[in-house]
Amino acid sequence: MAKTKSTFVCGKRSHTRTQRDREREKRDCSRATFACLRRFCLLYKNRVVVFFSQQQQRGEMSGEDEEGKNYYEILNVASTATEKEIKKAYRLLALKFHPDKYRPTAAAAAQTAAVLTKEAVAKKFASITVAFNCLSDPLKRIKYDRENGVNGLAKSDVLINITFKESINGCTKLAMVPFKTVCVKCNGTGKGGVACANCTILTRASCQTCFGKGVLGAANGGGGGTMNEDEICKKCKGIGAVDDFFQSRVEVPKNPKQNQRVKIQGRETYAVIYTMPSKKFRKCPSNEHDVRTTLQLTALEAKEGGFFEVETLHGKETVYVEDGTEDGAEKILEKQGIEKKGNQIVSIEVLPPPVQEEEEEEEENKEGEKKRKAEEEEEEKEEEENDLQKLLAEKKRKLLEKLASS
């Protein structure tokens, strides 16, 4: 690099800058500009995230947006829409109403009232995001449907989680049904003091001990001075009732539908059955009795083929994989599905070679190259030594011949 110098005077001192100094100043300026832009982008991103999180908290509390629409109406889908339909609807609405991509149509542009302002577009996009975040999560969707009475669910329904195998074979689960019971401390009055033991809520009006108050003060045997009418019960916080749970068993049928309601014994309450996703088994949408699993093989195993064990709903089975099987191939185990009425479809997944093995191979290659070079250097040294010995022997022979002739 050329080191051309330029001299300039600043005050009373003169400074000399080289080409390298000027390039360093350019790099520093570029870094400062990039850092400034990065801080601006992070600040803008944080503001957007805070805005949408506030909108999400407001929306999840009410279950509706400002116009009174529920989440299904916001996404323009039916209440029975599948997960794929909800994702598809969200993508279309997000592209249409994103604050940075919103463009009114020609028909809307003709009508000035139909064109949304920036604030309205941001508000619309926030409500769409809140609705999607709720409906795309199965557990949040069940809670939303239960709180808003959608898809046949009620607020009093109790959620019960079961595993995939429990749903296949059926099971008995314990349900905890919450309910309100009369506070024992205040006898259901919500007031402070000692509860009257001689009456109940039904006979309180005619009680001669507490005179219809349900609690006792100092004058009627309560002790501790006169009762304050404004004092509330500390146990029930003035409500007169406390939370309690009723334990009951729920008989889960075989192969229940997702979010199916089952009657709880001893209560006018239903349990909502939610089948948790399994890491090994998946139901086939085409046939309710078919299941899918994945068999992972290394590249060498897929190349050579052979017999491999596969876990089924009814135990372990052996499946034969032909040599040279490619990723995505399928094997069918007949009558190994749900209740042995369907099949089990085994998808072959060929795993890529681990990065660690590649690194080890590279290290072995490097070591082999070093060893080879060392051997070549040793051979060259031996050849040089042999040549030197031959040269010395030749000189010695000539010297002896010269001495003999003289």
- The two three-digit tokens of residue 243, written as one number: 């939370």
C-alpha dist (Å) from residue 386 to 147, 358, 376: 96, 42, 15
The answer to whether 59 touches 65, Cβ cutoff 8 Å, is yes
- pLDDT-based confidence at 191, cuts 50/70/90? confident
Q: Which tens digit of pLDDT belongs to each residue from 158-175? A: 999 999 888 888 899 988
Q: What is the pLDDT of residue 59?
A: 45
Say if pTM beats, i.e. exceeds, 0.75.
no
Strand residue runs (E) in 166-305: 171-182, 194-195, 215-216, 241-252, 260-263, 270-275, 282-283, 291-297
What burial letters (b/e) apply to 227-247, b meaning 16+ CB within 10 Å? Answer: beeeebbeebeeebebeeeee
By 3-state DSSP, what share of the chain in percent is helix, strand and coil, each rounded to 5? Answer: 40, 20, 35
- When pLDDT is averaged across residues 40-46 and rounded to a whole number, the result is 43
Q: What is the pLDDT of residue 295?
A: 93
Instruction: Classify burial at 168, counting beta carbons within 10 Å of its beta carbon; exposed 0-12, middle 13-18, buried 19 or more.
Output: buried
Q: What is the pLDDT of residue 57?
A: 43
Task: Please tell me the distance from the alpha carbon of residue 153 to that of residue 379, in angstroms, as a whole number.
Answer: 86
Q: Which tens digit of pLDDT belongs to each residue from 343-382? A: 999 999 999 877 655 566 777 788 888 888 888 888 888 8
Which of 61-70, 121-130, 273-282, 346-355 bottoms out in mean pLDDT, i.e. has the lowest?
Answer: 61-70
Q: What is the pLDDT of residue 356?
A: 59
φ, ψ for residue 285, nearest 5 deg? -65, -25
Q: Is the pLDDT of residue 52 over 90?
A: no
Task: Please tell me the distance from the alpha carbon of residue 269 to that of residue 246, in angstroms, as a whole number.
Answer: 11
Q: Are strands 194-195 and 215-216 parallel, antiparallel or unpaired?
A: antiparallel
Q: Is the pLDDT of residue 284 over 90?
A: no
Largest CA distance in the chain: 158
Q: Which residues make Cβ contacts (< 8 Å) with residue 184, sequence separation at least 6? A: 195, 235
C-alpha dist (Å) from residue 22 to 11, 14, 15, 215, 319: 20, 16, 13, 89, 70
Taking all residues of the chain, what is their mean pLDDT, rounded to a whole number?
Answer: 78
Question: Count of residues for the chain?
Answer: 406
Q: What is the pLDDT of residue 240?
A: 82
